[in-house]
Amino acid sequence: PALSILFWISLFVAGLLLANIARRGWSLPALAAVLWVVVSLTTGVIYPRVIQTFKVKPSEVSLEVPYIQHNIDATRRAFGINNVSREGFEGVTTVTPAELQASAETLNNVRLWDPAADIALETIQRRQAIQSYYTFTSLAVDRYVVNGKVTPMLVGARQLNQNNLPARSWVNQHLEYTHGYGMAISPANTFDQQTGNPVFSVQNVPPVSSDGLPALTTPGVYFGINDPGWIVANTKQKELDYKTQLGTPVASNYSGKGGVEMSGLLRRTAFALRFQDLNLWISSQITTKSRMIFERDVESMAKKAAPFLTFDSHPYAVLANGRVNYVLDGYTTSSMYPYSENAATQQASQSGGLPTNFNYVRNSVKVVIDAYDGSVTMYAFDPTDPILMAYRAAFPTLFHPLSDMSTAIRSHLRYPQDLFAVQASMWGRYHISSPSAFYTASDRWQVSPTTGSGSPKQALTQTVVTNKVGTAVSRTTSQMEPLYQVMALPNTSRQQLTLMTTYVPAGAAATVNGMTSFLVATSDPDNYGQLHAYVTPRGTSVTGPIQANAEINQNARVSSIITPLDQHGSKVLLGHNLMIPLQKSILYVRPLYVSNATTPLPQLKYVIAVFNQDVAIETTLQAALSAVLGGNVSGGGGGGGSTGETAQTYLAEASSAYSQAQAQLKAGNLAGYQASIDKMGQLLRKAQAALTAKN
């Protein structure tokens, strides 16, 4: 009614002003102004406040139910979380032999190598860069079929690093050292037991493939992540591919269509002016067939091809059809979706490629960029998205149907991290279907806090928002990054690439509460994009990531191993705390690496496993799993290790605990006596489990 009154008053005021044209006085305009102010204040401020105070507040929930329901429904549709499959997850503290057998492949695919910059990326850089002028800018977690089995892999392209050329001459920078060469692909679920280093399925220069992975027939990497600067390809100067072990250079000439052909003097002059480089104009090495390649960063290329899209901040390399390809996820977004809530980007752990203000998003485009010829191909991944439909009508040749994408590329599409992070953040609130429960927010979740990967001393970090006078008005803890893992969904057997995060109850106690749910997105071509929410029973405490990490930190054996390793020029690094669903229960696995503090080369030395409240740290995954789960557990990690030695270690520690208990009993320390006896019992159970695994 307030808007209707304002509408009619506006017409009346307009009539008064028109009438004043004939009268030419001040009385009618003054009357119109006063009338407009009075009505605006009455209907726009006083009336709503009276209604809010005397009608809405006494029965706020019942009156706002239909509007809350509109908000829930619209937000779910706008963020693509309206079809999340909700399933119960018991979170029991025991596991049966049958459940272990059903989870054998999942345990075998546990990701032991963390792709973080200071862990696996550092190791692969030092092991596989080969030359100082090559570099790996990032590693992606993907899946490849190794000897017939879906296997988690770390994948990176070997790119050019112009900052480390042997000599920074003009010819070296722009004509000879023009490109990177090949890839490194390493199984993330295994390692060399003797050295603690990763093993490789694609490695070296020239690249060699093994384990059934396809050969890399076109290994040149002219385009990649981060722009190494402009070059002129296919000149009279041969372009270095690599050097043999004897130091003999192996060179080639570019034969792709990337860049701009230097077909005449006018173009050479234009580029010489653009880059302020006279050599482009006078060099005798450049021919009319040479190609100027100056836009080489794949994300920048995609943005220039479709500036109306936003792109995920995690482009990744794929080996397909004998070539290095980069895959990017493109988004359409809007801030105008009716009744939808704005994205909680401040709470999402990873939303780097998305805008800061939007209430609608679709991963509507997949972009494939060839690392050799720079061709940019955009595929309409969600042809039903109305925003993409409008762009396709405006640019009919820009977007290809998904059916045009090669099978090899399509088998490596991943559910995007930035989108999933925002969806996960929104689902923490919008999983609530009841308007009244939504209003009270009594069942609200938040993504679990985490310390991430890095030093064992690393604590939870907090972001503090203050007001103008410096008083803290809100605090947010660092949240779990969505993690890619190859595993089977609970109560299924099929191994597939998943993206997962976990939830705890929202609020100040989030850092100590157990897990309430975990959200999983699938990436396989035939069931891509399915979201599954597994919800734990109310009133049941299921160990969450922070609780599991606390169990690790306070475990005496873990501390006794880490302390001597984390000194005297060495440092210990921990990978992400991986949550592994085992049919009805939860297992946590955290790899431990040792590196040199001055010349980092992280090596995998131990694997920590947490089940219920049992913690084990062993030199292999299988030994750690056997210790906490019992029985002969199948697991990856480069073999089972010496379970006999493990059992002897536990028995020796149990004997020591018994001696401590007797000493504390004589001293009258009954609490210490009981703690030592409990510790002895736990160690004896682990020794029995290790011996069972051996037999």
Residue where one domain finishes, among candidates 375, 401, 419: 419
- Report yes or no on 428 lying in a domain: no
pLDDT in tens, 255-268: 999 999 999 899 99
Torsion of the alpha carbons at 482, 483, 487 and 490, rounded to the nearest 10: -30
Residues 182 and 99 in one domain: no
- The answer to whether residue 22 sits within a structural domain is yes
Are 101 and 204 found together in one domain?
Answer: no
Same domain, 507 and 521: yes
The one-character DSSP state at 84 is: P
DSSP one-letter string for 2-32? HHHHHHHHHHHHHHHHHHHHHH--SHHHHHH
In a domain, 511, yes or no: yes
How long, in residues, is the chain?
A: 695
Cα Dmax for the chain: 111
- Residue 461: pLDDT band with limits 50, 70, 90: low
At residue 536 the predicted structure's pLDDT band, cuts being 50, 70 and 90, is: very high
Q: Is residue 635 part of a domain?
A: no
461 lies in the same domain as 593: yes
The secondary structure of residue 403, as a DSSP letter, is G
Of 232, 230, 412, residue with least CA distance to 326:
412
Q: Is residue 505 part of a domain?
A: yes
- Model pTM above 0.75: yes
E-only strand ranges, 517-633: 517-522, 531-535, 570-574, 578-582, 585-596, 603-611, 614-618
Range of the domain at 330: 296-419
Q: Within a domain: residue 285?
A: no
The 10s digit of each residue's pLDDT in 32-57 is: 788 778 888 887 788 888 888 887 77
Domain count, the chain: 4
Instruction: Return d(Cα 355, Cα 343) in angstroms, integer.
Output: 10
CA distances from 317 to 235, 325, 498 (A): 28, 6, 18
Cα–Cα dist 313/190, whole Å? 28
Q: Are residues 208 and 91 in the same domain?
A: no
- Burial (CB < 10 A; 0-12, 13-18, 19+), residue 25, is exposed
Taking alpha carbons only, the member of 317, 322, 316, 306 closest to residue 380 is 306
Do 211 and 123 lie in one domain? The reply is: yes
Question: For residue 560, is it left (φ>0), alpha (ψ between -120 and 50) or beta?
Answer: alpha
Rounded Cα gap, residues 608 and 623, in angstroms:
10
> Using the 8-state DSSP alphabet, how is residue 300 labeled?
H
Domain for residue 436, yes or no?
no
Q: What is the pLDDT of residues 276-303, one digit of tens each?
A: 999 999 999 999 999 999 999 999 999 9
Q: Which tens digits make up the pLDDT trace of 91-141?
A: 999 898 889 999 999 999 999 999 999 999 999 999 999 999 999 999 999
pLDDT tens-digit series, residues 209-224: 999 999 999 999 999 9
CA distance 125 to 251: 23
**Phi, psi torsion values for 670, nearest 5 degrees:** -70, -35
Residue 20: burial class (beta carbons within 10 Å; 0-12, 13-18, 19+):
middle
Query: Among the three residues 576, 597, 618, which one is the final residue of a domain in this structure?
Result: 597
Do 537 and 508 reside in the same domain of the chain?
Answer: yes
| Rounded average pLDDT over 139-154 | 95
Question: Both 458 and 573 in a single domain?
Answer: yes
Q: Are residues 140 and 94 in the same domain?
A: no
| Mean per-residue pLDDT, 426-438 | 95
Quote the CA–CA distance of 456 and 605 in Å, as a whole number: 14
Q: Same domain for 381 and 508?
A: no
Same domain assignment for residues 247 and 346: no
pLDDT-derived band at 463 (thresholds 50, 70, 90) equals low
Is 680 contained in some domain? Answer: no
Is the Cβ–Cβ distance between 409 and 375 less than 8 Å?
A: no
Q: What angle do CA 478, 352, 412 make, to 5 degrees?
A: 105
Question: Same structural domain for residues 151 and 56?
Answer: no
H or E segment and range at residue 317: strand 316-320
Compute φ and ψ for 410, nearest 5 degrees.
Answer: -60, -30
